[in-house]
C-alpha cells in the first residue's frame, strides 16, 4: 500500500473492503464463541450508519463521541463518523459523569454513541447538562424514557434509516483531505483537566506507514490482532485499528484482562499491542505457575530463561555445551510457552509506559518477541520502537521511518514529522508551548545513543530534584520495587527532600500468605496500620535498596490504604499513576516520614 498517496482514513478502509470482500475482519464473542464480520459486511454497515448520521444533521467538522467497550460497533461508528468528515471523540468507559461532562462541553459534541445501559446511566447525566449533545445512539438498542431531555436512537433503527438514505458515502469521503481533522483524543491526564489532542487523517496514516516499515521484517501476511487496550486510547486507535485495516488484517476483541490467556488460545494472534501492565501480569502468572509446579519442569524452565538471556547478551558467550542445552530447550520449554500464546505469535509490542527491562528480557529469553516502543497521544502516537532482529529492551529503539528526534539542551525529547498533532483543541497557549518551530516538546527526558537508539529517563515533570540538587527518576525506582512479587504498585516521593520515601501497595498474594502465616484475616486498610505487617514490608524494601544507588534508596515507607485504580481516581484510564492525586491523598503521612529517624 502506498500510504503517502492516501488522502484519508475512510477511503483507505473502503479500498481495503473492496480488496478483501468476504474475508473476516472483526471478531467478537457471542454465546461464548468468536464470530466474525467480514470487510464487506462492515463496509455496508459503515455506509448505513454514516447516512443515519447525515439524517440527524451531523455535518463535516462536527464532533461525535463514542462511549463503548471494544466491539465491532465501536469500529463501525468510528468509520462512519470519519467517512462523512466529522470528528471522532473517543471517551473512556471508566469516565465519571464529571469526566464526560468536561469532554462533552469542551469538544462541543453534537451526538454520542453509547453501548450499554450501564454506561448510559453515567453519560446521561453529563448529556442532560450539556447545551449541545442531546442525541444519543444506543448500540444495545435501548431507548431513553420520554422527558429525559435526550433524543435516543437505537442502533438498528439507524441502520434502517441509513438504508433509506441514498448518499454515496464512498464518493463523499473522497473529498476529505489528509490535513483534515480525524479525531480529538483526550489525554487521560496525570494532572488537571485532559487536553483534546487534534489528530489529522495524515498524522494517523503517517504512523500506519511507520508501523508497516517497522514490522515488514516479520513477513506481514494474513495477520491476526488481539485487541485489549481501549480503542479510546490513541495507541489502540492507530496500532490496533487503522494499522490492521491498512494491511487487511483480522482483529479479535479480548473479553477483558482476566480472559486474555484464554483469548490468546482462541484467537491465535500473530501480533498484539498492549501496555506494560499486561506483560507484567503474564510474567507474574507464568513465573508463579512454574514455581508451583516445581521439580524437573521448573528447573528446565528457569534454565531456558538463564541461557536465553545469556544468548542475547553482548557481554557473555555460551560454551558449546550451553549452546546444545539451549537448542534442546527450544523444544522442551520455549515451544510450549509459545503454544500458550496461541502458537502463531510473531511479536508483542509494548507501549504507553515504560516496560521493565527484566520483564522484557524474560519474554525474549523464552523466544517470545517483544518490541518496546515509545510514543504519546500528541504524536499519533508511536515515535520510536525496537526493530525485529535488533532488540535492545532497555531502550525504546530508533526513530520510526518518517520521524525526526533530537534532544534539547535540558534533555527533553523533541519530535518532528507528519505524525505530530495539529495542536490542542481550544487551547492555543498549551499548543504554542508544546509545538515550537514544528518540533513537539514531549515533556520526556532521554538520550540518543551513538547508534540512534533512544533511551527514556523519565517524565520532565516527574523528575525528583532532592534537597541536594540531584535529579532522580522515580519510574526506575518504582519499577525495581514492583519487580518483587510482594508488591503490585509503588510511588516514590522526595522532591526537595534529603532522601526518598515510598507508598507501597502489596500484592494480593503477599497479603494472603502473610495473613495465613499470622492466622489473621485483615483487609489492606487494616494492614496499612498493622506495625508487624509494615515492618515486614520495610524489611523487603531494605533488600531492594541493596540494588539501588545511594540516591535511589528508599529510607522509609508507608503501606497504602487501597490499591491505585481508575475507580478511585488514583490511576489514569491508561493505567498510569496520578502522582499529584496520590501525593495529595497521603500528604500528611508522606511528610511525616521525614520527621522520623533516618533508617
Q: Which of 99, 275, 111, 104 is nearest to 194 (CA)?
A: 99
Q: What pLDDT does 599 receive?
A: 45
State how far the Cα of 152 lies from the Cα of 159, in Å rounded to an integer: 14
Q: Which of 380, 437, 416 is nearest to 184 (CA)?
A: 380
State how far the Cα of 248 lies from the Cα of 398, in Å rounded to an integer: 27
**pLDDT at position 189 over 80:** no
| Each residue's pLDDT tens digit, 201-243 | 999 999 999 999 999 999 999 999 999 999 999 999 999 999 9
State percent of the chain over pLDDT 90: 81
| Each residue's pLDDT tens digit, 412-436 | 999 999 999 999 999 999 999 999 9
> What cell numbers appear for 265 in the block?
488460545
Q: How confident is the model at residue 33 (pLDDT cuts 50, 70, 90)?
A: very high
- Tell me how far CA of residue 227 lies from CA of 230, 252, 315, 334, 363, in angstroms: 8, 6, 37, 24, 20
Find out whether the peptide bond into 381 is cis, omega within 30 degrees of 0.
Answer: yes
Q: What pLDDT does 567 receive?
A: 87
Q: How confident is the model at residue 167 (pLDDT cuts 50, 70, 90)?
A: confident
Long-range contacts of 561-564 (CB under 8 A, 24+ apart): 561/524, 561/525, 561/528, 562/524, 562/525, 563/488, 563/489, 563/505, 563/524, 564/489, 564/491, 564/505
Could you give phi then psi for residue 321, rounded to 5 degrees?
-70, -45
* Residue carrying the nine cell digits 526506575: 476
Among 202-211, 284-293, 336-345, the range scoring the smallest mean pLDDT is 284-293
Mean residue pLDDT of the chain comes to 93
Residue 255, C-beta contacts closer than 8 angstroms, at least 6 positions apart: 29, 262, 263
| Domains delineated in the chain | 3-186+219-270 (3.40.50.12780), 272-343+346-459 (3.40.50.12780), 464-595 (3.30.300.30)
State how far the Cα of 184 lies from the Cα of 424, in Å rounded to an integer: 9
Mean pLDDT of 305-329: 92
Q: What pLDDT does 475 receive?
A: 87
State how far the Cα of 432 lies from the Cα of 558, in Å rounded to an integer: 40
Mean pLDDT of 161-168: 77
Q: How confident is the model at residue 52 (pLDDT cuts 50, 70, 90)?
A: very high
Phi-psi region of 369 (alpha: psi -120 to 50; beta: other; left: phi over 0): beta
**pLDDT at position 584 over 80:** yes
* Residue length of the chain: 599
Tell me which DSSP letter residue 473 carries.
-
Q: How confident is the model at residue 191 (pLDDT cuts 50, 70, 90)?
A: low
Mean pLDDT of 483-491: 95
DSSP conformation letters of 538-558: HHHHHHHHTTS-TTT-EEEEE
Q: What pLDDT does 193 receive?
A: 81
Q: How confident is the model at residue 95 (pLDDT cuts 50, 70, 90)?
A: confident
Q: What pLDDT does 154 receive?
A: 96
Tell me which DSSP letter residue 240 carries.
I
Q: How confident is the model at residue 462 (pLDDT cuts 50, 70, 90)?
A: confident
Q: What pLDDT does 597 receive?
A: 57
Find the radius of gyration of the CA atoms of the chain: 25
> What cell numbers appear for 477 in the block?
525506582
Amino acid at each position: 500500500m502506498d500510504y503517502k498517496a492516501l488522502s484519508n482514513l475512510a477511503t483507505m478502509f473502503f479500498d481495503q473492503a473492496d480488496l478483501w470482500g468476504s474475508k473476516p475482519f472483526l471478531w467478537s464473542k457471542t454465546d461464548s464463541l468468536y464470530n466474525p464480520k467480514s470487510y464487506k459486511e462492515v463496509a455496508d454497515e459503515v455506509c448505513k450508519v454514516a447516512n443515519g448520521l447525515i439524517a440527524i444533521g451531523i455535518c463535516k467538522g462536527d464532533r461525535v463521541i463514542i462511549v463503548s467497550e471494544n466491539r465491532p460497533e465501536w469500529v463501525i461508528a468510528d468509520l462512519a463518523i470519519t467517512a462523512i468528515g466529522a470528528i471522532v471523540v473517543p471517551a473512556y468507559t471508566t469516565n465519571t459523569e464529571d469526566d464526560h461532562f468536561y469532554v462533552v462541553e469542551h469538544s462541543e459534541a453534537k451526538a454520542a454513541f453509547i453501548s450499554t445501559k450501564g454506561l448510559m446511566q453515567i453519560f446521561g447525566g453529563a448529556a442532560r447538562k450539556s447545551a449541545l449533545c442531546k442525541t444519543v445512539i444506543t448500540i444495545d438498542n435501548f431507548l431513553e424514557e420520554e422527558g429525559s431531555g435526550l433524543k435516543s436512537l437505537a442502533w438498528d433503527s439507524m441502520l434502517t434509516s441509513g438504508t433509506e438514505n441514498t448518499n454515496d458515502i464512498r464518493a463523499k469521503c473522497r473529498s476529505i483531505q489528509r490535513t483534515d481533522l480525524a479525531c480529538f483524543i483526550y489525554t487521560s491526564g496525570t494532572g488537571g483537566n485532559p487536553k483534546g489532542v487534534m489528530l489529522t487523517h495524515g498524522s494517523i496514516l503517517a504512523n500506519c506507514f511507520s508501523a508497516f516499515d517497522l514490522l515488514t521484517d516479520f513477513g506481514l501476511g494474513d495477520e491476526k490482532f488481539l485487541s485489549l487496550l481501549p480503542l479510546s486510547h490513541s495507541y489502540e486507535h492507530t496500532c490496533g485499528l487503522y494499522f490492521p485495516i491498512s494491511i487487511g488484517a483480522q482483529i479479535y476483541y479480548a473479553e477483558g484482562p482476566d480472559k486474555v490467556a484464554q483469548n490468546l488460545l482462541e484467537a491465535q494472534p500473530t501480533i498484539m499491542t498492549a501496555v506494560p501492565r499486561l506483560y507484567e501480569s503474564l510474567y507474574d502468572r507464568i513465573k508463579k505457575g512454574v514455581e508451583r509446579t516445581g521439580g524437573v519442569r521448573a528447573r528446565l524452565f528457569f534454565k531456558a530463561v538463564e541461557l536465553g538471556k545469556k544468548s542475547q547478551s553482548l557481554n557473555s558467550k555460551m560454551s558449546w555445551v550451553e549452546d546444545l542445552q539451549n537448542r534442546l530447550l527450544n523444544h522442551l520449554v520455549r515451544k510450549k510457552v509459545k503454544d500458550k500464546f496461541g502458537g502463531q505469535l510473531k511479536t508483542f509490542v509494548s507501549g504507553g509506559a515504560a516496560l521493565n527491562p527484566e520483564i522484557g528480557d524474560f519474554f525474549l529469553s523464552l523466544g517470545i518477541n517483544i518490541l518496546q516502543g515509545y510514543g504519546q497521544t500528541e504524536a499519533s502516537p508511536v515515535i520510536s520502537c525496537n526493530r525485529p532482529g535488533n532488540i535492545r529492551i532497555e531502550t525504546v529503539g530508533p526513530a520510526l521511518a518518517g520521524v525526526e528526534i533530537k534532544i534539547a539542551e535540558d534533555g527533553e525529547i523533541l519530535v518532528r514529522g507528519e505524525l505530530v498533532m495539529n495542536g490542542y483543541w481550544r487551547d492555543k497557549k498549551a499548543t504554542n508551548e508544546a509545538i515550537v518551530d514544528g518540533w513537539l516538546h514531549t515533556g520526556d527526558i532521554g538520550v540518543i545513543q551513538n547508534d540512534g537508539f533512544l533511551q527514556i529517563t523519565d517524565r520532565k515533570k516527574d523528575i525528583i530534584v532532592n534537597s541536594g540538587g540531584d535529579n532522580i527518576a522515580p519510574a526506575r525506582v518504582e519499577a525495581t520495587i514492583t519487580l518483587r512479587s510482594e508488591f503490585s504498585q509503588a510511588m516514590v516521593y522526595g522532591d526537595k527532600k534529603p532522601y526518598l520515601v515510598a507508598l507501597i501497595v502489596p500484592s494480593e498474594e503477599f497479603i494472603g500468605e502473610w495473613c495465613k502465616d499470622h492466622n489473621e484475616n485483615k483487609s489492606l486498610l487494616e494492614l496499612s496500620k498493622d506495625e508487624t505487617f509494615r515492618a515486614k514490608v520495610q524489611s523487603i524494601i531494605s533488600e531492594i535498596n541493596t540494588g539501588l544507588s545511594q540516591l535511589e534508596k528508599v529510607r522509609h515507607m508507608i503501606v497504602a490504604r487501597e490499591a491505585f485504580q481508575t475507580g478511585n481516581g488514583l490511576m489514569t484510564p491508561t493505567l498510569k499513576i496520578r502522582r499529584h492525586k496520590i501525593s495529595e491523598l497521603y500528604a500528611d503521612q508522606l511528610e511525616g516520614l521525614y520527621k522520623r529517624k533516618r533508617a
